Amino acid sequence: MLFGASATPWLPAAGAAGKIPGMAAILPTLRRTLPDLAATKAFAVAVAALLRPGDALLLEGPLGAGKTEFARALLRALTADPGLEVPSPSFALVQSYETPIGPVHHFDLWRLEGPAGLAELGWQEARVDTVLVEWPDRLGRLRPAEALVVTLAPRGEDGREATLAGWPGRLERLA
């Protein structure tokens, strides 16, 4: 197993809503213990390899959990540029990158109170492309149902626990 897999790497997401109205679907869930920053970056590279044009990747977790570091590693992998400057979009709110899978828009919604400000940021236009979103709770009803959700929780000094949910048929490749 890669990246310090937990003893139970696959767990069903209880109560996950399916795409068929009135039916529930079990979304695959993967948990990984990432003991340090290098493991977090390596896992982001593995996730980047599964991204497709039009995907949504939602990064959840408390302040300091490693969302921006994960995003940086993922974007550097997508662009095949390990020295790519990837500033935190906390102040600009969105940064866009050209990649072989098309444009990727990195949103940091920390400063938004809800989905009202998304129109000004070009959210609808960006959804045609790939989006990477920190603080996706601010999306409200605009939250993409088909997204991969990556939840990061700090563990120890430099480690974190990653829980991924979504992407049936693809997430299994990370096991």
- Residue by residue, DSSP assigns 72-90 as HHHHHHHHT-TT-----TT
Does the pTM surpass 0.75? The reply is: yes
Question: Which residue did the predictor score with more confidence, 160 or 113?
Answer: 160
Name which of 16-20, 32-36, 52-56, 135-139 the model is least confident about. Answer: 16-20
Q: CA 172 to CA 10: how far, in whole Å?
A: 9
Neighbours of 146 (CB within 10 A): 11
Q: CA 131 to CA 144: how far, in whole Å?
A: 10
- Does residue 118 lie in a domain region? yes
- Does residue 168 lie in a domain region? no
Name which of 20-29, 40-49, 109-118 the model is least confident about. Answer: 20-29
- Does residue 18 lie in a domain region? no
- Does residue 106 lie in a domain region? yes
**Into how many domains does the chain fold?**
1
Q: Per-residue confidence at 44, pLDDT binned at 50, 70, 90? A: very high
What CATH number does residue 93 fall under? 3.40.50.300
- Does residue 97 lie in a domain region? yes
Q: What is the pLDDT of residue 111?
A: 82
Q: What is the pLDDT of residue 12?
A: 35
- Does residue 103 lie in a domain region? yes
- Does residue 11 lie in a domain region? no
Domain extent at residue 94 = 31-161
- Does residue 112 lie in a domain region? yes
Query: Quick one: DSSP state of residue 175?
Result: -
- On the question of pLDDT at 109 being above 70, the answer is yes
Q: Per-residue confidence at 112, pLDDT binned at 50, 70, 90? A: confident
Give the position of tokens 């044009």: 53
- On the question of pLDDT at 143 being above 50, the answer is yes
Quick one: tokens of 123? Answer: 């959210």
Q: What is the pLDDT of residue 26?
A: 67
